[in-house]
């Protein structure tokens, strides 16, 4: 805790050293010690002195920089804000260094930095298991453990019935114990490292009992317990930063070491770039396309009030409120004429090339290749990019003569339907990270879900309803949701109550169960084809009650659908082959239920569908499926 400063800064040095001594004196209680570790988790790369000073002066600080660093970023520190005085680590040059004044982002005119997406826990645990393997520690998931973790020499068994975030916290703790130097402080240091890493990677800190700092510090150094506390904190921060760097490096590798896990969605490998393809559009080109789409949306909006067909359709779907001029949905109508939009946008100065590249017009194969409006006689739903700009449209036929009820903007440089979600950007911009996302099949259902679930806002539950447009739910769309989620945001999947909806759920399920935040649920409109029909038939209040009553953990819905497909003629428990098939059908969904703590619910639901006792099904899964799938943890290790 020593540094050298210029004589002009001696007064500030005395004040800062006093603050530092008070920060050290604070560390006699468990509460203050845990606060120090939370601060260290938010500020990687800081020395122990800096972490102590931050914890004493502004423990809730999230992003710190000097006045000049903020100014270089185009950000200004607000007048009269008092900076935090930090003591930078002294170098080996022998030169004196000044006290550094830094300011938190909340002390500037900058908007708070967006919350980074929570790490996907599966690769985090895979990386941790790989590091443990390098340290000579074998990690396995096991069923039936009484505690979260069991150690046996060089083997570490984690309870498979607990959330992966909880068992991963214990894995970090044991990995730290394995790699830290032996000594009386190793237990405290390992617990501290685990708490910091848990804060940085979205894990639950391990439930480890550590005495109050005043007690273990007196054991480490009875003559100077304060010095022992600071030395221990410095060792913890250094070890946590080193482990963080190793984890980041492992996560950045193309592949990570295998770890026992459930089945996951197949994500195709990215295509190799085509050397003959045209160069990517410039920023100016993309700006022109966004501008053309915005002008088109304004044009469509002017035709909405006069369209009786659009009004009738919106009423039939229970979403007439979306046509209100004050609504943020920006609905519109493409008139039936062949080139009304083309003529309007040409008059505004848009070139034919921009309109073709934006997918608003197309060239006819007849009549010399003349241009015509791509969308005609359709109710128009703008689809926004993550930054809120209109990337494209989906249009619902109003004429009754088109084979395609919905038609999307073709793929352009700013519109790829598999990478966008209808309704996402608008609602996130209004509400911020929601309590829950609801994923439905189409734009009218997204609006209907928004109108239905908004009654929960009075109870503090915010809902963002989104829809893929003409595509199966994709990994890119899941990533969009994860980027806009909070740490406890739930994901609710709701597809149409028909065969197409069942197929959509089958395709979306493997992705949805990898949701890295809160609960993963499914629901369905009772007695109606979709949420919009439910809203139109029963009103918002009754529709909401029906949807809430139908909510189930998604693995329960998945296993019920899978068992119905596996036994279309009914399940016969007397047939050994049928029992084996049932166990093999249930097992993957049981693995998915482990992540969210729904094992008992799933066993009860699947057993009831099969007319078996839950323990019979559980034992059958372990017997018939666990023998060739060690990740199920069938029975104790031999």
Taking residues 14-28, what's their average pLDDT?
Answer: 81
Q: Tell me the per-residue pLDDT of 358-401, one tens digit each, with 9 for 90 and over.
A: 999 998 765 556 899 999 999 999 999 988 899 999 999 999 88
Q: What's the pLDDT score for residue 3?
A: 43
Most confident of the ranges 114-128, 140-154, 605-619 = 605-619
How far apart are the C-alpha atoms of 461 and 454, rounded to whole Å?
8
Q: Binning pLDDT at 50, 70 and 90, where does residue 318 land? A: very high
Q: Binning pLDDT at 50, 70 and 90, where does residue 197 land? A: confident
Q: Is residue 525 scored above 70 in pLDDT?
A: yes
Taking residues 490-501, what's their average pLDDT?
Answer: 85
Who has greater pLDDT, 430 or 512?
A: 512
How far apart are the C-alpha atoms of 426 and 465, rounded to whole Å?
10
How far apart are the C-alpha atoms of 603 and 612, rounded to whole Å?
10
Q: Is residue 7 scored above 60 in pLDDT?
A: no
Task: For the chain, list the domains and their CATH numbers.
Answer: 7-24+46-107 (no CATH), 121-252 (no CATH), 283-413 (3.90.980.10), 416-516+529-550 (3.40.1360.10), 554-638 (no CATH)
- Which of 440, 485, 490, 434 minimizes the C-alpha distance to 462? 434
Who has greater pLDDT, 345 or 145?
A: 345
Who has greater pLDDT, 133 or 240?
A: 240
Q: What's the pLDDT score for residue 380?
A: 97
Kindly give the residue spans of alpha helices, DSSP state H, lying in 400-459: 424-431, 443-453
Q: What's the pLDDT score for residue 547?
A: 92
Low-confidence winner among 401-415, 454-468, 585-599 (lowest mean pLDDT): 585-599
* High-pLDDT (> 70) share of the chain, %: 85
272 secondary structure, DSSP code: P
Q: What's the pLDDT score for residue 298?
A: 92
Q: What's the pLDDT score for residue 579?
A: 85
Q: Is residue 626 scored above 60 in pLDDT?
A: no
Q: What's the pLDDT score for residue 10?
A: 65
Tokens for 610, please give them: 């099969």
Q: What's the pLDDT score for residue 116?
A: 66
Cα–Cα–Cα angle for 461, 464, 465, rounded to 5 degrees: 125
Low-confidence winner among 35-44, 365-374, 469-478 (lowest mean pLDDT): 365-374
Tokens for 29, please give them: 């209680």
Beta pairing class for 371-373 and 520-522: unpaired
- Which of 426, 449, 441, 407 minimizes the C-alpha distance to 318? 449
CB atoms within 10 A of CB 599: 21
Q: Is residue 257 scored above 50 in pLDDT?
A: no
Q: Is residue 179 scored above 90 in pLDDT?
A: no
Tokens 């529709």 identify what position? 543
Taking residues 424-453, what's their average pLDDT?
Answer: 90
Most confident of the ranges 306-315, 424-433, 511-520 = 306-315
Q: Tell me the per-residue pLDDT of 47-94, one tens digit each, with 9 for 90 and over.
A: 988 999 898 888 899 899 898 898 888 888 888 888 888 877 655 444
Calculate the dihedral angle through the C-alpha atoms of 336, 342, 347, 350, rounding to the nearest 10 degrees. Answer: 150
Backbone angle region of 318, left / alpha / beta, with phi > 0 → left and psi within -120 to 50 → alpha:
left
Kindly give the residue spans of alpha helices, DSSP state H, lying in 253-351: 283-303, 308-316, 340-347
Q: Tell me the per-residue pLDDT of 137-152, one tens digit each, with 9 for 90 and over.
A: 887 766 666 677 788 7
Q: What's the pLDDT score for residue 585?
A: 87
Low-confidence winner among 228-232, 322-326, 365-369 (lowest mean pLDDT): 365-369
Q: Tell me the per-residue pLDDT of 590-608, one tens digit each, with 9 for 90 and over.
A: 888 877 778 888 889 998 9
Give CA 99 to chain center in angstroms. 39
Q: Binning pLDDT at 50, 70 and 90, where does residue 501 land? A: confident
Q: Is residue 275 scored above 50 in pLDDT?
A: no
Q: What's the pLDDT score for residue 142?
A: 65
- Which of 555, 472, 601 minimizes the C-alpha distance to 263? 555
Backbone angle region of 387, left / alpha / beta, with phi > 0 → left and psi within -120 to 50 → alpha:
alpha
Q: List beta partners, residue 393.
A: 382
Q: What's the pLDDT score for residue 369?
A: 64
* Full DSSP string of 450-492: HHHHGGGGGGT--EEEEB-SSS---HHHHHHHHHT--TT-EEE
Taking residues 521-530, what's their average pLDDT?
Answer: 87
Q: What's the pLDDT score for residue 359?
A: 94
Who has greater pLDDT, 612 or 251?
A: 612
* High-pLDDT (> 90) share of the chain, %: 30
Low-confidence winner among 33-47, 170-184, 395-409, 435-449 (lowest mean pLDDT): 170-184
Q: What's the pLDDT score for residue 277?
A: 42
Q: How does the average pLDDT of the chain come out, rounded? A: 82
Measured CA distances, 194 to 29, 34, 66, 171 (Å) = 19, 12, 30, 8
Q: What's the pLDDT score for residue 281?
A: 62
């Amino acid at each position: 805790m020593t540094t050298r400063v210029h004589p002009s800064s001696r007064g500030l040095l005395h004040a800062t050293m006093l603050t530092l001594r008070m920060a050290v004196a604070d560390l006699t209680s468990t509460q203050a010690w845990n606060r120090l570790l939370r601060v260290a988790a938010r500020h990687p790369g800081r020395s122990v002195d800096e972490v102590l000073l931050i914890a004493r002066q502004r423990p809730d600080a999230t992003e710190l920089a000097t006045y000049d660093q903020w100014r270089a970023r185009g950000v200004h520190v607000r007048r009269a804000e008092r900076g935090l005085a930090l003591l930078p680590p002294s170098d080996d040059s022998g030169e004196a260094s000044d006290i550094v004044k830094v300011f938190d982002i909340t002390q500037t005119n900058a908007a708070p930095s967006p919350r980074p997406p929570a790490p996907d826990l599966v690769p985090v645990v895979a990386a941790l298991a790989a590091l443990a393997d390098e340290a000579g520690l074998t990690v396995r998931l096991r069923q039936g453990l009484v505690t979260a973790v069991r150690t046996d020499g060089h083997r570490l068994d984690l309870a498979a019935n607990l959330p992966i975030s909880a068992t991963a916290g214990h894995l970090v703790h044991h990995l730290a114990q394995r790699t830290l130097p032996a000594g009386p402080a190793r237990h405290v240091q390992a617990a501290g490292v685990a708490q910091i890493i848990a804060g940085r990677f979205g894990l639950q800190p391990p439930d480890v009992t550590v005495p109050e700092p005043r007690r273990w510090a007196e054991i480490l150094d009875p003559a100077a317990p304060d010095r022992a506390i600071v030395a221990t904190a410095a060792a913890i921060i250094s070890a946590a930063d080193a482990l963080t760097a190793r984890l980041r490096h492992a996560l950045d590798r193309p592949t990570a070491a295998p770890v026992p896990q459930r089945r996951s969605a197949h994500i195709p490998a990215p295509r190799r770039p085509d050397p003959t393809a045209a160069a990517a559009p410039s920023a100016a080109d993309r700006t022109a396309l966004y501008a053309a789409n915005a002008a088109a949306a304004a044009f469509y909006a002017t035709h909405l009030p006069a369209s009786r067909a659009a009004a009738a359709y919106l009423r039939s779907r229970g979403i007439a409120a979306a046509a209100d001029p004050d609504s943020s949905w920006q609905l519109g109508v493409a008139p039936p004429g062949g080139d009304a939009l083309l003529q309007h946008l040409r008059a505004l100065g848009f070139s034919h090339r921009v309109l073709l590249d934006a997918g608003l017009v197309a060239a006819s194969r007849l009549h010399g290749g003349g241009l015509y409006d791509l969308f005609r006689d359709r109710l128009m739903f703008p689809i926004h990019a993550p930054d809120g700009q209109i990337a494209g449209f989906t249009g619902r036929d109003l004429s009754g003569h088109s084979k395609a009820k919905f038609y999307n903007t073709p793929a352009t440089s700013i519109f790829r339907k598999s990478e966008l979600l209808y309704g996402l950007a608008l609602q996130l911009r209004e509400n911020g990270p929601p309590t829950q996302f609801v994923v439905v099949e189409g734009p009218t259902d997204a609006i209907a879900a928004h109108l239905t679930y908004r009654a929960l806002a009075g109870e503090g539950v915010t809902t963002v309803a989104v829809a893929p447009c003409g595509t199966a739910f994709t990994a890119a769309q899941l990533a969009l949701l994860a980027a806009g989620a909070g740490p406890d945001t739930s994901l609710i999947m709701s597809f149409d109550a028909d065969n197409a909806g069942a197929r959509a759920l089958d395709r979306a399920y493997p992705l949805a169960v990898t949701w890295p935040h809160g609960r993963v649920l499914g629901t369905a409109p009772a007695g109606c084809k979709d949420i919009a029909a439910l809203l139109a038939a029963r009103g918002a209040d009754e529709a909401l009650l029906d949807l809430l009553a139908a909510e189930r953990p998604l693995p329960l819905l998945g296993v019920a659908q899978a068992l119905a497909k596996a036994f279309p003629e009914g399940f016969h428990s007397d047939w050994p082959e049928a029992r084996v098939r049932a166990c093999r059908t249930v097992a993957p969904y049981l693995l998915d239920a482990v992540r969210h703590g729904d094992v008992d619910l799933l066993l009860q639901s699947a057993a009831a569908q099969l007319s078996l006792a839950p323990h019979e099904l559980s034992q059958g899964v372990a017997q018939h499926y666990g023998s060739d799938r060690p990740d199920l943890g069938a029975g104790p290790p031999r």
